Structure 1
Amino acid sequence: MKVLIGGYTKNASKGIYELGLKGNGENARLGKAKLIINVAGPTYFQKDGDLLFAINNAGNKGGIKSFKLTDQKYHEVDKYLTPGASPAYVGIDRKKKLLYTANYHTAVLSVFRYSSDGKLTLLDTVKHIAENLGPRPEQMDGPHPHFFDETPAGNLVSCDLGNDSVDFYHLSNDKLEHLASYKNESGFGTRHIVFSKDGNYFYVVGELSSKINVVKFDEESWSFESIATYSTIPNSFTGHNGAAAIRISGDDKFIYVSNRGNDSLTVFEINKDHTLKHVQRVSAFGKFPRDFNWDPDEKYVVAANQTSNNATLYLRNAKDGSLTPIQKNIAVPEGTRVIFTK
C-alpha cells in the first residue's frame, strides 16, 4: 500500500509525493517521500484507477490537470486553467466520470466530465453571490465556496465559508440548478461536510468557529433541523484555530476533524440519536494539519502537517474510534491532501 501527499509548492515542495507503507499493526511504517508528479500547487487531488486529477496553481492562472499512470510514471494528459486563483477542492464521481471543483477565491463552482484517458470537458459553472456574509474578516470580502461534491441521493452540495451556508444543486442535462440552502450560525465559516449512511443527517464543520453542526434533513422536501453543535477544540484553548477536514467512519460510528492551530485531530462518537460524544483529542505532532485520511479498511490514518513539513501515522481502533500514533516526524513538504492507494 502507498500514501500520496500533495500540497502547496511555495517552499520546498515540487508537487505530489508517494510514501510506501510496510509492516502491520503497531509495526507499520511509512517510507521516504518520493516525488512522483511535478506540478505546482496540488493542494487537493483525486484518483480514479490510473488517472489522477490535481488542482494546479499556474501563476496567474489556476485550474485542474489530469495525469495518467503509464509505465510506472505519471504523464500529463490535459488541463483546464482560467485567469485567477486555483480551486480549493476537487470532488469526483468515478461511475459518472465527473469532477466537481470549488474555487474559494473566485466563488465559482464547476463541473467537468472526464474520459477514460483523462481528457477534460467543462460542463457548467455557477458563481456564488454575497448573501448575508458572516461578520469575521475572512468573510467580509465575499462568498468563499470551499467544498463541492455529491450528496447521498446524487445531488450536489457546496459549503460556503463566506456565506455561512450549505447549498444544494442538481445536475440535469449538464446544467446546474440550485435546489436549497441551509444557513449555519453567523461566523461559522462553513467548510466541509459528511453525511450519515441513511442520508438523513449531515455533519458540517466550520473553519472559523471550530465547530461541528449536526443537522437532520430531508433531501426531497429540503427541510432542515439543527440537532446540536460541538466545539472541536478545548474551551481552554485561546489561540487561533481553523478547523479543516472532516471524515465519518464507514460504520457511521465516529467523526474525525483536524484542527489547524490547536494542531490536533478530534474524535467524536456518534450516538444513536446522531448527537456526538467526545472521545479523544490527539496531537498532530506537527503544525497546521489540514487533511488526513485512512486506508480502505480504516485501520491506519495519516495526517499531513502543512507548515512543519511532516506527517504522522496513526493506528485506528475500530471499536472506540481512538487513534494511537505509531510513527511521527515523517518528512513531507507542505502537505495539504492525503490519499491511500495500492
Structure 2
Amino acid sequence: MKLLIGGYTKKKATGIYELPLKKADGLEMQIGPAKEVIKVGGPTYFVQDDKFIFTINNAGDKGGISSFELVNGQYTQKDSYLTPGSSPAYIGINRNKKLLYTANYHTAVLAVFSYDQDGSLTFLDSVTHTADTLGPCPEQADGPHPHFFDETPQGNLVSCDLGNDCVDFYSFNNNKLKHLAKYQNEPGFGTRHIVFSPDGGYFYVVGELSSKINLVAIDETNWHFKNIATYSTIPDDFSDHNGSAAIKISRDGKFIYTSNRGHDTITVFAVNADHTLQLRQRISTFGEFPRDFNWDEGEKYVVATNQNTDNATLYTRDAENGCLTPIQKDIFVPEGTRVLFSE
C-alpha cells in the first residue's frame, strides 16, 4: 500500500508525491519518505482510475486538468485540458462511465469531461454559476465560488457553492447538464463539501466560513429538502479564525469526520439512528491548516496533511467508536492538500 499526496506548489512542492505505507518490525503501519512521482503545477486535488491519475494542473497563466499514466513504474503525461485563467479546486470521477467532474472556485464554472482507455480527455459540457444568493462574508463578496462537483446516490450531480451558500443539483444526459434543484444554506455558511448517508435519504454539508455541518433530509425523486439540524465543528469558545474543509462519512454510515483549518483538528461525530450527530472526538492534526484527509479501503488507517507546516499524520481508526489514534507524526510532505491511498 502507498499514499499519493499533492497540493500547492508555491514553496517547496513540485507535484504529486508517493509515500510507502507498510508494517515495520512487527509494529503498526508506518509511512516512509516522500518522493516526487508526478511533476505538475498545483495538484491540489486528483483522482485515480487504476493506472491513471487525473489531476488539477495550475500551468501558470492557464489552468485545468491533466492525465498521467503509470508505465513501467513511471508516470507519463497523457493529455491536458487547459484554459486561460485559474485551475479548478475539485475533480471527481465516475470510473464506470469514464467521466470527470470539475469545480472551479475562481471562475464559477462546473465542467464534465470524459476520458478513454489511453487517458485522453474530452470536454463535454459546462455551466457557470451566477451571483444569485451571495452571502455576507468578505470571501463571498466577489461572486459565486463552487468548491465541489460530484455524483449523488441516484447518479445526478451535485455542487457546493461557497459564495452563494447553496447546494445545486444537476442531471447529465446526452452530454448536457441541466439544473434540477437548489438547497439554500443559511447566509454566511460558506458551503464547501458534501456527503450522503448510505441510504441516500440524507446529506451532510460542511460550511467553510461557518465551521458548521448542516444535516438535511433529501427526496431526490421529488426534490424536497428538510433542514434537520446544524452542528459546530469547533468548540464554542474557539475565537480564532477557522475554515472547515474536507468531510467524510464511513462506509457503514455510522461516523462523520471533518477537518478544521485554524483549530487544526479532525472532528469526529457519531451518527445516531435518526441521522442526527453526536460529538465523539476532536483530535489534533499535529500541524497547521489541515485541508484534506483520507482513509484506506478498509477505513482502518487515516492520514491528514497539514498544508502550512509541510507534514502529515497517520492515525488508526476504531470502527466501533469512530475515534482516531495517532501512531506517526511529523511525516514530511510539502504543501499537502490532497490525500489518496493507492494499492
TM-score by length of 2: 0.99
**Partner in structure 2 of residue 12 of structure 1:** 12
Percent identity among equivalent residues? 68
Tell whether 2:310 aligns with 1:309.
Answer: yes
Instruction: Give the Cα–Cα distance (whole angstroms) in 1 for the partners of residues 86 and 70 of structure 2.
Output: 27
**Partner in structure 1 of residue 193 of structure 2:** 192
Instruction: Give the Cα–Cα distance (whole angstroms) in 1 for the partners of residues 118 and 248 of structure 2.
Output: 30
**Partner in structure 1 of residue 148 of structure 2:** 147
1:116 is displaced (CA, Å) by 1.1
1:158 is displaced (CA, Å) by 0.1
Instruction: Give the Cα–Cα distance (whole angstroms) in 1 for the partners of residues 233 and 181 of structure 2.
Output: 27
**Partner in structure 2 of residue 116 of structure 1:** 117
Match of 1:231, as an amino acid?
S
Query: What does 1:226-305 correspond to in 2, within 5 Å?
Result: 226-305=227-306
Structure 2 regions of 5+ residues with no counterpart?
none
Could you report, residue by residue, the CA deviation over 1:241-263 in whole angstroms, capped at 9, with x for unpaired residues? 00000000001000000000000
SS at match of 2:292: strand
SS at match of 2:66: strand
**Partner in structure 1 of residue 164 of structure 2:** 163
1:27 is displaced (CA, Å) by 1.9
CA contact (8 A) 1:26 1:326 kept: no
Deviating runs (4+, > 3 A) in structure 1? none
**Partner in structure 2 of residue 87 of structure 1:** 88
Query: What does 1:41-190 correspond to in 2, within 5 Å?
Result: 41-190=42-191
CA contact (8 A) 1:205 1:244 kept: yes
CA contact (8 A) 1:26 1:315 kept: no
Match of 2:312, as an amino acid?
A
Count of paired positions? 342
Could you report, residue by residue, the CA deviation over 1:265-295 in whole angstroms, capped at 9, with x for unpaired residues? 0000000000000000000000000000000
SS at match of 1:138: helix
- RMSD over aligned Cα atoms: 0.8
**Partner in structure 1 of residue 341 of structure 2:** 340
Instruction: Give the Cα–Cα distance (whole angstroms) in 2 for the partners of residues 115 and 27 of structure 1.
Output: 39
Instruction: Give the Cα–Cα distance (whole angstroms) in 1 for the partners of residues 27 and 275 of structure 2.
Output: 31
Match of 1:243, as an amino acid?
S
Instruction: Give the Cα–Cα distance (whole angstroms) in 2 for the partners of residues 26 and 91 of structure 1.
Output: 35
1:26 is displaced (CA, Å) by 6.0
**Partner in structure 2 of residue 37 of structure 1:** 38
Query: What does 1:18-29 correspond to in 2, within 5 Å?
Result: 18-23=18-23, 27-29=28-30
CA contact (8 A) 1:7 1:43 kept: yes
CA contact (8 A) 1:14 1:35 kept: yes
Structure 1 regions of 5+ residues with no counterpart?
none
CA 1:179 to 1:26, structure 2 compared with 1: closer, same or farther past 3 Å?
farther
SS at match of 1:285: coil
CA contact (8 A) 1:257 1:266 kept: yes
SS at match of 2:139: coil
Match of 2:340, as an amino acid?
I
Match of 1:292, as an amino acid?
F
1:83 is displaced (CA, Å) by 0.5
SS at match of 2:228: strand
Could you report, residue by residue, the CA deviation over 1:273-329 in whole angstroms, capped at 9, with x for unpaired residues? 000000000000000000000000000000010000000000000000000000000
1:236 is displaced (CA, Å) by 1.2
Tell whether 2:237 aligns with 1:218.
Answer: no
CA contact (8 A) 1:169 1:176 kept: yes
Tell whether 2:205 aligns with 1:201.
Answer: no
Match of 2:52, as an amino acid?
L
Instruction: Give the Cα–Cα distance (whole angstroms) in 1 for the partners of residues 246 and 28 of structure 2.
Output: 27
Match of 1:2, as an amino acid?
K
Instruction: Give the Cα–Cα distance (whole angstroms) in 2 for the partners of residues 247 and 117 of structure 1.
Output: 31
1:195 is displaced (CA, Å) by 0.2
1:332 is displaced (CA, Å) by 0.2
Match of 2:297, as an amino acid?
P
Match of 1:5, as an amino acid?
I
Match of 1:320, as an amino acid?
N
SS at match of 2:229: strand
TM-score by length of 1: 0.99
Could you report, residue by residue, the CA deviation over 1:79-110 in whole angstroms, capped at 9, with x for unpaired residues? 00001000000000000000000000000000
Could you report, residue by residue, the CA deviation over 1:36-88 in whole angstroms, capped at 9, with x for unpaired residues? 00111000000000000000001110000000000100000000000100000
